Amino acid sequence: MTADARRQRLRIVCRGVVQGVGFRPAVHRLATSLALVGWVRNGPEGAVVEVEGTDSAVRSFMRALPRSLPALARLDDMDAAPIPAAGETTFVVLPSEAGQRSRALVPPDAALCSDCRAEMDRPEDRRYRYPFTTCTNCGPRFTLVRSLPYDRERTSMACFALCSECEGEYTNPADRRFHAEPVCCPACGPRLWVEQPGAGDMARGPDAIRLAGAALERGVIVAVKGFGGFQLACRADDEAVVAQLRECKRRPTKPFALMVRDLATARTLVALAPEDEALLASPRAPVLLAPRRPDAAVASGVAPGLSDLGVMLPTTPLHVELFRDAPFNSLVMTSGNLGDEPICRGNREALDRLAGIADLFLLHDRDVVRRADDSVARTGPGGPALVRRARGYVPEALPLPVETPVPVLALGPFLQVTACLATGQEAFCSQHVGDLDGEPARAFLREAAEGLEEFLEIRGELIVVDPHPDYPSTWLGQEMARTRGVRLLSVQHHLAHAAAVLAEHGRFPERGTRAAAIALDGTGWGPDGTAWGGEWLTLDGELRWTRLAHLEPLPLVGGEAAVREPWRVAAVALAAAGASELLGRLPMARLVPLETLVTIVGLGSQPTWPRATGAGRLFEAAGALLGLAAVNGYEGEAAARLESLAESGGPAIPWDEVRLPAGTALPSAALLAAAARRVVGGEEPARVAAGFHATFCRLATELTARVVPPAVKVVALGGGCLVNRLVRRGLGEGLAGAGFEPLLPKRLPPGDGGLSYGQAVLGGVAAARGVEPSLKGEA
């Protein structure tokens, strides 16, 4: 018998995103095309395949499988082992094998695919205009599933019995709806209706969509149930209804996201590169922050004072139907919540919590198992980068630099919080939780953390928290560690930023090596009693770290009031730089009375105020100095307005008059004073804003070259200020020009939304290498 004719059988364990994505049908098609017999099924490790046939056919299968994946699948590795032949005559798909999850993953929710959209557009199709159309290439996944393996009975679709036609699709390996767990049709799927608070149902099915669309056209606010919870929608070109939504939602200035009919509409509103359009139209379909076109037909109240608009395409069939016959091309589509509370998930919850905001509710009876906001990305140098990671990305795994010997649960800081669970060589970040100001958000953090553990069937045995003693996330970690009897580890805030970026790029230091990092954010607990936020660090493979340099500390007169009112920082900094005589001549004096500014300057000389090195505080102070915002209506508003102004200022030229002094501190006060002198001298504010950014990046590059050891070339850039396009570009290009290898966050938010991943990385490395990072670093 020739080697080619010899029969063999392989058992192949496939790991990665291989459940709920059409992987088994793809395996079935490939195996039968090669005349192989055997089976495929889902299991705790991922997908398990047994193939039997001629030696050449089995080898062809192994070569072809990685190239035959469906759109949403990701094959991380395959373990193949020969086993005795079984002698079957067919290749079949077996029921899933139960058991504790080992490596099985479920993909994130995916936006409507082109095949399903085409069916919805065909009048003769049975899913014509059906708002729950889905297949293995699109639809809810993470927000739908209760536990693994990913099968219909473990999702919120379990209560919807399949009709005969859907059953035929679901059981046919040749159909793209084979084992598409959310599959349904008008005969057997979820029902849609529109309801008015206190008045009950007003319409059902297609009539409900028509009624909601007509209400939106008239300027009504409508609550819409999406994949991961509720959204609040209104006309994007109607100033009055946008103002009403702001007032009712208690969101005075924070920008709203827009949902647009199609890419053609998006192009009329914002400037998009080809890679930006590809991301918008991808299964991830995030909100994308992009430069606003001057003639964009959008109410000024959508994003006041900002040069970007956040746009997204319809992500669900229901959104598609809202736009189908509508006279409008764009809608505000913002989180269905009040202020910074968690997004509403259930119908009754939404009717109760959103009754004072929405006039109509577009509801359905498919439960949202896990609430998840829209993800947000931003255009910029090197392509789009994430700002908020949720729908479309979660629960996608991120790499760990080492295999952690114990499961690590990290709980993030205070703002933009996520949880992260690390196990083996992977870390799983939760959906965006948000700021922990109120009890609902704190309860959501617990829900997200415990939900990750339940979903992955793993319980954290090492809890990692921020060392700030007043963070609710720290309290939660302390409680969990105490009740479970497990170890609690505190890791310094900016060290976690550094670890997140290094690990994302696979450049976390091995034993005996070092990397550098620049962490630029608003506030993080400093072990010296100050509020850190502009930090130059080195980190080695034994988790020893050193603070090399920082921004010049500035007093926060009034404590937290100085964070809300950045003019306080600006006024005191000008006095420290010997420029207090400029106070009354600045645009800032039109927002704050001169006598108030003088009073704050006087108080600033007292040594009792907390001192902060935060880059966020510096950029906010510059925004206040130029009269862009007296009060931050949301985190970093004055800095965001400063960046928007700078982008209109033409070529940015660093200022020669601001030089880096001797020592290890970037001269924050001198930089603000130079900006003040220029604007008082008549320079256009936009040029001042652009020059401020350019000068900061030049000073930061020079400081890096001065303090980073010559042998260290890798520099990770993290912290919320790296959302700023000008800072990303200026620092990235400046450091590269100085001979460094700058690493910019892309797959994770640069700010505190990615911090739990850095905490989990440090916890995993500490457990694996038997070391522990000091809270204070080394001299």
Positive or negative CA dihedral for 282, 288, 291, 292? positive
Bigger pLDDT: 43 vs 669: 669
Nearest to 736 by CA among 704, 770, 779, 709: 704
Nearest to 247 by CA among 139, 338, 142, 336: 338
For residue 412, pLDDT beyond 70? yes
CA distance 499 to 487: 20
Tokens, residue 441: 């958000």
- Model confidence band, residue 639 (pLDDT cutoffs 50, 70, 90): very high
Nearest to 331 by CA among 348, 351, 343, 315: 315
Bigger pLDDT: 517 vs 171: 517
CB–CB of 116/317 below 8 Å? Answer: yes
Highest mean pLDDT among 8-17, 150-159, 543-552: 543-552
CA distance 755 to 63: 39
For residue 198, pLDDT beyond 90? no
For 305-352, how does the pLDDT look when each residue is reduced to its tens digit (9 = 90+)?
Answer: 999 999 999 999 999 999 999 999 999 999 999 987 899 999 999 999
Position 731, amino acid: L
CA distance 740 to 742: 6
For residue 4, pLDDT beyond 60? no
For residue 100, pLDDT beyond 70? no
pLDDT of the residue at 774: 86
Positive or negative CA dihedral for 406, 411, 417, 419? positive
CA distance 600 to 646: 28
- Which burial class, exposed, middle or buried, applies to 681 when counting CB atoms under 10 A from its CB (0-12, 13-18, 19+)? exposed
- Model confidence band, residue 233 (pLDDT cutoffs 50, 70, 90): very high
Query: Which DSSP string do the residues of 62-85 spell out, in sequence order?
Result: HHHGGGS--TT-EEEEEEEEEE--
What letter does residue 470 receive in the DSSP assignment?
T
CA distance 96 to 74: 19
Positive or negative CA dihedral for 159, 163, 166, 171? positive
Return mean pLDDT, the chain.
Answer: 95
For 640-667, how does the pLDDT look when each residue is reduced to its tens digit (9 = 90+)?
Answer: 999 999 999 888 999 999 999 999 999 9
For residue 96, pLDDT beyond 90? no
- Model confidence band, residue 102 (pLDDT cutoffs 50, 70, 90): low
Q: How many helices (H) and strands (E) does the chain have?
A: 22, 29
Q: Which long-range contacts (CB under 8 A, 24 or more apart) does 117-124 make?
A: 117/317, 117/320, 120/317, 120/320, 120/321
Of the chain, the percentage scoring pLDDT greater than 90 comes to 88
- Model confidence band, residue 530 (pLDDT cutoffs 50, 70, 90): confident
Which whole-number Å values give the CA distances from 529 to 17, 525, 548, 605, 691, in the listed order? 45, 8, 17, 18, 32
pLDDT of the residue at 99: 67
CA distance 255 to 240: 16
Output phi, psi for 370, to 5 deg. Answer: -130, 120
CB–CB of 169/135 below 8 Å? Answer: no
CB–CB of 755/761 below 8 Å? Answer: no
Q: What is the chain's Cα-based Rg?
A: 28
Query: Which residue reads 């969509």 in tokens?
Result: 209
The three-point CA angle 78-83-84 to 5° equals: 155
How would you classify the pairing of strands 74-83 and 462-465? unpaired
Report the largest interatomic distance among the alpha carbons of the chain, rounded to a whole angstrom.
99
Nearest to 7 by CA among 35, 28, 30, 48: 35
pLDDT of the residue at 1: 46
Nearest to 631 by CA among 697, 542, 567, 699: 567
For 35-47, how does the pLDDT look when each residue is reduced to its tens digit (9 = 90+)?
Answer: 999 999 988 888 9
pLDDT of the residue at 97: 82
For 468-498, how does the pLDDT look when each residue is reduced to its tens digit (9 = 90+)?
Answer: 999 999 999 999 999 999 999 999 999 999 9
Query: Which residue reads 């928007």 in tokens?
Result: 644
CA 89 to chain centre: 48
pLDDT of the residue at 101: 59
Which whole-number Å values give the CA distances from 736 to 122, 389, 447, 743, in the listed order? 53, 28, 42, 10
Nearest to 630 by CA among 620, 640, 643: 620
For residue 691, pLDDT beyond 70? yes
Output phi, psi for 50, to 5 deg. Answer: -120, 125
Output phi, psi for 69, to 5 deg. Answer: -80, 145
pLDDT of the residue at 48: 95
Tokens, residue 43: 């299991």
How large is the average pLDDT for residues 609-632?
A: 96
For the chain, the residue count is 779
CA distance 51 to 73: 20
CB atoms within 10 A of CB 505: 18
For residue 673, pLDDT beyond 50? yes
How large is the average pLDDT for residues 407-430?
A: 96
- Model confidence band, residue 19 (pLDDT cutoffs 50, 70, 90): confident
Judged by DSSP in three states, 391 sits in: strand
Bigger pLDDT: 514 vs 103: 514
End-to-end CA distance of the chain: 72
How large is the average pLDDT for residues 445-466?
A: 95
Judged by DSSP in three states, 371 sits in: coil
Q: Strands, DSSP E only, in 553-710?
A: 554-555, 611-612, 665-666
For 344-381, how does the pLDDT look when each residue is reduced to its tens digit (9 = 90+)?
Answer: 999 999 999 999 999 999 999 999 999 999 999 999 98
| Backbone region of residue 770 per phi and psi (left: phi > 0; alpha: psi in -120 to 50; beta: other values) | left
How large is the average pLDDT for residues 564-572?
A: 97
CA distance 213 to 219: 10
CA 749 to chain centre: 6
Output phi, psi for 598, to 5 deg. Answer: -65, -40
CB-based contacts of 666: which residues, under 8 Å, 6+ apart? 534, 549, 550, 551, 552, 660, 696, 699, 700, 703
CB-based contacts of 654: which residues, under 8 Å, 6+ apart? 691, 694, 695, 697, 698
- Model confidence band, residue 150 (pLDDT cutoffs 50, 70, 90): confident
- Model confidence band, residue 778 (pLDDT cutoffs 50, 70, 90): confident
For residue 103, pLDDT beyond 90? no
CA distance 366 to 140: 11
For residue 95, pLDDT beyond 90? no
